[in-house]
Every structure is written in structure tokens, then in C-alpha cells.
Amino acid sequence: MEYIIDYLYSLKTKKLNRLVAQLSIVPIAQSIIIQSVKSINKVSVKKEYSVKMAEPIRVVVTGAAGQIAYSLLYMIARGEVFGSDQPLILHLLDIPPMVGVLEGVVMELADCALPLLRQVIPTTDPSVGFKDVSAAFLVGAMPRKEGMERKDLLSANVKIFKAQGQAIENFAKKDVKVLVVGNPANTNAFVCANYAPSIPRENFSAMTRLDQNRATSQIATKLGVPISAVKNIIIWGNHSSTQYPDAGQGKVVINGETKSVADAVNDNAYLQGAFVETVQKRGAAVIAARKMSSAMSAAKAACDHMHDWWNGTAPGTFVSMGVCSDGSYNSPKDVIFSFPVVIANKQWKIVEGLNLSDAAKAKLNITAKELQEEKDEALSVLDLSSNL
Ligand code: NAD
């Protein structure tokens, strides 16, 4: 009897109904089949209920016609950041000269036939771009041109991030999570947060995850272990060549045993010298080789950053994010400084109480000084005092 029922379960409901009609002269068979149809219907109602999807969230990517966005949009739309059961409405913001390129990106996203992607809204209007967004990837920025001084670059970018801060203030959801990728990322995030006073300042961050990923990859290669065996490599300070990549708190699993990276590498000169320099200059090395700046790896890092902010960090693991400084580790207050953080319930917390060597403290001071100078320059360009 059981295998008859199994067979009946394997049939589609329509086929079963047909069978009921055909076998109506055999009462016992009919009753078994009717029971099966009923329970299959129950199962399918249950299934339909359990696969009911969440409401879509709106996510904006600025600089959507650029090279980082070209990789980033696909990764987001595939569900790599917000989850494979979270439908999305993507807002693509760029500037008017890029409208044609943006149209091409929209066509390609459609052609990817991605199940989570419910709608794509290309725009050059920040009031549309930021409307009701839950997450913002601020990638678009003015690139450094030949002969441009740092102050000129800063000046062009603070204007962009002022306008975007105001748009976030006026149009985004109040719990929006903002990740600034466009350089100078830390100071752009500072400016943006300043112009969105009704959004908690904790909701603004700058990306140093690419530097963290680069550093982690260097250590994994040095030790001949998979990347997943290495954790807790820190990037302190600015996303610039003054950043301090610090393997001093790192952990590695080798042959099933967890060790400190310092013990496993057993080469302090490397960890304080070649390792730090390689990570600090990796962006320039990619440009020299590719004749274009890092894009695929930057997009992956932006996904990692937002993924961990959204979903939390694993116990015992921390990640690096540029966040508003509370003065921890002797950093200047109120600059966007990259710290090790742990994340739960979409809230980050700086990891306190780590022991730093005098050499490490000296390196933190260098990057802190640069961030303070950038902040002062930004404030002078904008002619405002910090609201933070
Ligand atoms: P890209 O030049 O290919 O694209 C930038 C896009 O931004 C362009 O389409 C441009 O039209 C757009 N844009 C300019 N101003 C805008 C505005 N006001 N609003 C909306 N869009 C605007 O550059 P990319 O390679 O994609 O890099 C983008 C930024 O990311 C650069 O500033 C780069 O230095 C920075 N970056 C940061 C990291 C990091 O780790 N934080 C890593 C790599 C690159």
C-alpha cells in the first residue's frame, strides 16, 4: 500500500484528479487517491507559505556607470550582500553625461535575468536616487586628474558628498546604512554625515575592507594557507598610503591548530616592513599593471563590508571599517577612522583594549594626523564647522 501512496504522491495534482475520475468504479482506490490529493494540496499550500518572499528593499549605487559599479551591481543583485531571499530594487545614480552608459548597464542587468531583482531605476537626480533607500553604496566621485593638488581633489569631492549627504537627509530611510567608497573615502564620509544630521552618525562608514582583504591575502599566501584560515588582520586609519595594516592581532589556523599570525610568520621584519608597504602600495601596483584602478576587488570588498554590517560578524572575528572616531586608541575624535569592529544587529562596536606596540602607535599617529588635516581642509572648503 505504501508504495502505491508514494507513487500517487509523485504524480501532479492534475494527473491525480484524472485518475480519481478514471478509477471511480473502485471505491477503495478512489478513497486512497482522494486522501493523497488532499494532503498534496495541504503540502503545496504549506510550501507556498514558507517560500513567501520578503518585501523588496531599495539600494542605491552611485557612480553606477563606472567600473567598480559594473562588478558591484551584479554581486548585489545576485543576493551576495542582503541574502538570497531578499528581493531588491536597485537605484542607479550617475551624472548626466553618463546617461547612455547607464542605459547599457540597465540592459545588462535585465539580461542577467536575476530572480531577486524586482526593478532597476536609473537616474541622475539625487532625490530619485536616494528615495527610501535602506542601503547606499557611494562609489561615484571625482577622479584625480593630472596636475591636480590634493586640495583640488578634496574640494571637488566635498561638493559631491555635501549634495549626497543632503539628499540622504531628505529622501533616504532614517536607518539607511551608508558606505562611502569614492576617494578620499574617509573624508567624503565625514562630509556626507555632516549634511545628514537626522541620520545617526554610526550609519556612515568608509571602506577599508579592500585593504583588509589585500592584507589577509598577503598573509595567507606567505603561510601557504587558504584565505579562510586567516582572520583579524586590521587596517587602522585612512584609506590612503598612510594606513597601517596590522597583522599583530591576526590569527591563523594551521593543521587544525589556531596560532597568532606573528608566531606563524615568525618574521617581525617582514610584518613591520614588506607586508605593510605591499598593502599600502597595492592600489598603485594594480594601476601600474592594469592602467586602471582596482575595480573587481573594490566591488568585492564593498560587498563584504555591507554584508557584514547587515548580517553581523562571526564570534571571535573582527573586521575593519572607517567609522566616526570616539577617540579610541588615541585617534582624533570625529574623523572617520578605520578601526577593528564587531557587528551585531546591524550595529558596529569598536574592539577596545587591544595591545599595540610603540611602533604601531607611532604608525597610528601618522595616519591620524593626515585624517585631521583632511578634515580641516574639507571644513575650510565648505566653510562650516563640524556638526558631528
Ligand atoms: P570610475 O571613474 O570608473 O566611475 C566613477 C563614476 O562616478 C563615473 O561613472 C562618474 O560619472 C560617476 N560620478 C561622478 N560624480 C558623480 C556624482 N556626483 N554622482 C553620481 N555619480 C558620479 O571610477 P571607479 O573605478 O568606479 O572608482 C570610483 C571611486 O572609488 C574612485 O573615487 C576611486 O578612487 C574609489 N576607490 C575606492 C576604493 C576604496 O578602497 N575605498 C578602492 C578603489 C577605488
| CA triple 20-21-23, angle to 5 deg | 65
Least confident of 22-26, 60-64, 363-367: 22-26
Whether the CB-CB separation of 144 and 184 falls below 8 Å is answered with no
Of 13-22, 136-145, 201-210, 335-344, minimum mean pLDDT range: 13-22
Say what the pLDDT of residue 4 is.
Answer: 45
Kindly state if the Cβ of 217 falls inside 6 Å of ligand 1: no
Q: Mutate which of 98, 99, 183, 209 to test ligand 1's pocket (most atoms within 8 Å of Cβ)? A: 183
| Distance of alpha carbon 304 from alpha carbon 318, whole angstroms | 12
Tell me, using a 6 A CB cutoff, whether residue 68 lines ligand 1. Answer: yes
Answer whether 95 contacts ligand 1 (Cβ < 6 A).
yes
Catalytic residue among 91, 239, 305, 307: 239
pLDDT beyond 50 at 9:
no
Mean pLDDT for the stretch of residues 361-368: 97
Distance 183 CA to ligand 1 centre (A): 8
Backbone angles phi, psi at 371, to 5 degrees: -65, -40
Q: How much is the average pLDDT of 285-294?
A: 93
Mean pLDDT over residues 354-373, rounded? 96
Backbone phi, psi, residue 273, to 5°: -115, -90
- Residue 59 has what pLDDT? 99
- Higher-confidence residue: 380 or 199? 199
What is the sign, positive or negative, of the torsion defined by CA atoms of 151, 157, 163, 167?
negative
Q: pLDDT exceeding 70 applies to what percent of the chain?
A: 84
> Is 16 strand, coil or helix?
helix
Average pLDDT over residues 22-43: 45
Q: Which ligand 1 atom sits nearest the alpha carbon of residue 97? A: 11
**Active site (annotated) includes residue 239:** yes
pLDDT the model gives residue 10: 47
Q: What is the pLDDT of residue 383?
A: 64
- Predicted local confidence at residue 18, as pLDDT: 53
pLDDT, mean of residues 212-230: 98
Q: How far is the CA of 63 from the centre of ligand 1 (A)?
A: 5
Preceding omega of 184 cis (within 30 degrees of 0)? yes
Ligand 1 lined by 359 (C-beta under 6 Å): no
Range of weakest confidence among 14-28, 104-118, 141-155, 348-362: 14-28
Nearest to 374 by CA among 224, 231, 190: 190
Give the nearest ligand 1 atom to 160 CA.
18
Residue 39 CA to its chain's centroid (Å): 44
Residue 382: its pLDDT value, please?
79
